[in-house]
Structure formats: structure tokens, C-alpha cells
Structure 1
Amino acid sequence: MVTASLRSLSVLVLLSVVLASPRAVAATEDRLAGLGWVWPTTPVEVTRPFIAPAHAYGPGHRGVDLRADAVRSPADGRVAFVGRVAGRDIVTIDHGGGLVTTLESVVSDVEVGDLLARAAPVGRVSAAGHTVSGTVHFGVRLHGEYVNPLRLLGGVPRAVLLPCC
């Protein structure tokens, strides 16, 4: 029984190494950066960056906060949700391919099912939410996992390892 558990653990460790290989990560980064997304606000001013949690339930900041009045769709998509959650005005856009954007706090006239073109107006920033006044929280999930939205906007440079000696 212990041997079977160790075998299962070894397989999980091997899969995590293979799935997170530098080639796989680079391919995902290239695919995301090549989608042609636009900033949901103009001008662009990041007031709080993405902070990845150490684990799925750990503390972090799963998106970026942007100073804004008006908000637009970062890519083509279909409105998946419009409404209030915990006192916050939320708009969620499904972009296909497992990519979903959440914009908070945004008051909007769009309706669930509406098709939005890239850069189409979504709404205006409302006062309620976890962000400071005059900012919008821009979160992106890829297959249910939060990713840094800057990956889709070409804002996160790829790490380069330099020789140590």
C-alpha cells in the first residue's frame, strides 16, 4: 500500500515537472501574448500589480488594478455575467479557449450573451468594490486558474538566465 502511494506521488511529481517545463511555459506565454489583447482602460496606469498566491488558497492579488473611468473589452468575447456579487458590480467576459476576464467594479448596460468586439465599451467604474475609488480590477482566468493579465498584453518580459561566471 505504501509502495502504491509512493508510485502515485512519483507520477504526480513527474507530471508537474513535465507540465511546468520551460518549453511548456514559453509556449503558453507566446500563445497568450500573440492573441492581440488591448488594455481595458486608456490611458494605462497600473495602481496595484498582480501578485501570484503561493498556492490555490493562498493570499495574493489575482489581477491588476487600473486607474479608469470607462472600461472596454480587452478582446473579442461574449458577456457571461453582469451583476452584483458581495456588493460589487461585476462584468465577466468569456473570450473562448479557456480565457475569461472579470472586471470589477463596473456598472454596465451590456447583457449576458452580448457579443463584444475587442476595445468595445463595457461600462464605467463604480464606487463599490475592493479597489480604491477610480480604479477597476482586471482579472483573467485561463482554464479556471488566475493568470497575470499582463501576459496577454505583452507586459511581462520573459526571464533570461545569465551565466554565473
Structure 2
Amino acid sequence: MVRPFARPSSEYGRGHRGVDLGGQASEDVRAVDAGTVSHVGVIAGRGTVTVLHPSGVSSTYEPVSADVTVGQVVARGERLGALDGAGSHCAPRVCLHLGAVRDRTYLDPMALLGARPVRLLPLQPVP
């Protein structure tokens, strides 16, 4: 993870409305869960894809050169397109911005994916 989620203080407040995941240009971008593609387009100069999932959560991916079309049903893990190295807001690195929203509320995508903080425990009990 290049940059974690930071919940905005208000609807238009500062924050980071998703997570940035390091990657390489042309790498596959895949759906985090099954759903229907609800948006394919360019926002702020970056290709974006949004998938609406049966849970009511929408996941958004950018920058992506899309292979999918609006209305297309996708399976979990199905390719949505390729990670676009140009226009990455992590420049000079390449990263995928993954966002999640439900009812206009931004959510931490990593929490939805079951990711939890890692805590290392000793192999042996400490005397």
C-alpha cells in the first residue's frame, strides 16, 4: 500500500477517499467482487471504472484503460482493464487508486476486503 484511506471530515472535507496500491503499468486491474459496471470514463484526466456490487457498495478503480462497458456484469476477479502508468497521482510511481462508497459515504476498501492490521507475535513466549 502506497497510501492508506483517510476518512474525510465532511462530505467535501480533506481526506483520502480510498487506498493507493503500488503496481506496474499495463498490469491487470480486476474486480474486487461481482457486480455491474456502472461507470467507465475519464475523470480529472484519468480513466476510471466503477462497479456496483449487490451489497450496495460501489468500488472505483483509477487510472485504468478499461476493457469493460457500462451495464456489463463482472465476476469477482474479472479483468476490468489495465493499470495506466500515465496520469498516476503517485508519480513517478505507478499505483491503483481503489475507492469504495455506500450511500455517499466513503469507506475504507481494505476493511471491506477483510484486511486487518498486522501484529507480529513472538514465536516463543517471552520469559
The 8 Å contact of residues 72 and 123 in structure 1, kept in 2 or not, is answered as: yes
TM-score by length of 2: 0.81
The 8 Å contact of residues 21 and 98 in structure 2, kept in 1 or not, is answered as: yes
Q: Over the residues paired in the alignment, what is the CA RMSD in angstroms?
A: 1.4
Question: Does residue 1:62 correspond to 2:17, yes or no?
Answer: yes
The structure in which a higher percent of residues are helix is 1
Task: Give how far 1:131 is off.
Answer: 3.3
Question: Does residue 1:131 correspond to 2:86, yes or no?
Answer: no
The 8 Å contact of residues 87 and 129 in structure 1, kept in 2 or not, is answered as: no
Runs of 4+ in 1 over 2 A off after TM superposition: 129-133
For structure 1, which runs of at least 5 residues remain unmatched after alignment?
Answer: 1-45, 158-165
The 8 Å contact of residues 131 and 137 in structure 1, kept in 2 or not, is answered as: no
The structure in which a higher percent of residues are strand is 2
The 8 Å contact of residues 98 and 144 in structure 1, kept in 2 or not, is answered as: no
Matches within 5 A, 1:83-162: 83-126=41-84, 127-132=86-91, 133-156=93-116
For the residues of structure 1 that align with 2:90 and 2:50, how far apart are their CA atoms?
17
Partner SS state of residue 79, structure 1? strand
Partner SS state of residue 74, structure 1? coil
Task: Give how far 1:129 is off.
Answer: 4.1
Partner SS state of residue 151, structure 1? helix
Higher relative contact order (CA 8 A, sep 6+): 2
Task: Give how far 1:93 is off.
Answer: 0.5
The percentage of counterpart residues that share the same residue type is 41
